[in-house]
């Protein structure tokens, strides 16, 4: 099946613009990999896979990152077929960008648009869980202003897990010292 037209892409990118500065800049690919490991170890990752890919058992458990070195590339990209995310050389080492690209892994193999309602709902759930309420609230406001369609199912799955204290404590211990305060 062919993917649907990606009619929301420009509006999704425009909505993200003001949130980029609210997310932590990571200093190296090693820090990016550690953050990605925390995201994929979170129970929400597998639940979001199930929400987006009912009946499909193979949830991605790892991803590789590399930097884009060619100057002609101005944005980060996710190759869902190889499980490789290439991050733009400067601004791409940011938790928001990493979560954006990782969200593409969760809607892999579907006929849905790359930045469609399933993507935006899943992305919001990951942002709320891993970046907090501040960036989440700003992005929700921007999505409404830019008329971005959002699937509520992934957000509802995230709300059900919100009380997972042991995971929250582990995440806080892992990211201590990497947040921008």
Q: What is the reported pTM?
A: 0.82
> Residue 139's pLDDT band (boundaries 50, 70, 90)?
very high
pLDDT at 177 over 60: no
Task: Give the three-state DSSP class for 66.
Answer: strand
State the DSSP code for 22.
G
State the DSSP code for 111.
S
Residues 6+ apart with CB under 8 A from 123: 99, 100, 103
pLDDT at 67 over 80: no
Mean pLDDT of 120-145: 94
């Amino acid at each position: 099946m062919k993917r649907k037209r990606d009619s929301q892409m420009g509006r999704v990118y425009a909505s993200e613009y003001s949130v980029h500065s609210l997310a932590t800049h990571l200093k190296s690919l090693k820090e990016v990999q550690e953050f990605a490991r925390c995201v994929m170890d979170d129970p929400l990752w597998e639940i979001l896979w199930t929400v987006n890919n009912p009946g499909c058992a193979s949830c991605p458990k790892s991803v590789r990152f590399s930097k884009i070195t060619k100057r002609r590339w101005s944005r980060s990209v996710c190759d869902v077929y190889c499980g490789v995310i290439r991050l733009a050389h400067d601004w791409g080492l940011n938790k928001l960008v990493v979560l954006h690209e990782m969200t593409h892994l969760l809607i892999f193999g579907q006929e849905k648009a790359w930045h469609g309602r399933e993507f935006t709902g899943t992305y919001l759930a990951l942002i709320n869980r891993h970046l907090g309420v501040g960036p989440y609230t700003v992005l929700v406001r921007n999505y409404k202003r830019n008329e971005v369609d959002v699937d509520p199912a992934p957000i509802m799955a995230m709300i059900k897990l919100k009380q997972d204290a042991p995971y929250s404590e582990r995440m806080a211990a892992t990211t201590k010292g990497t947040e921008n305060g």
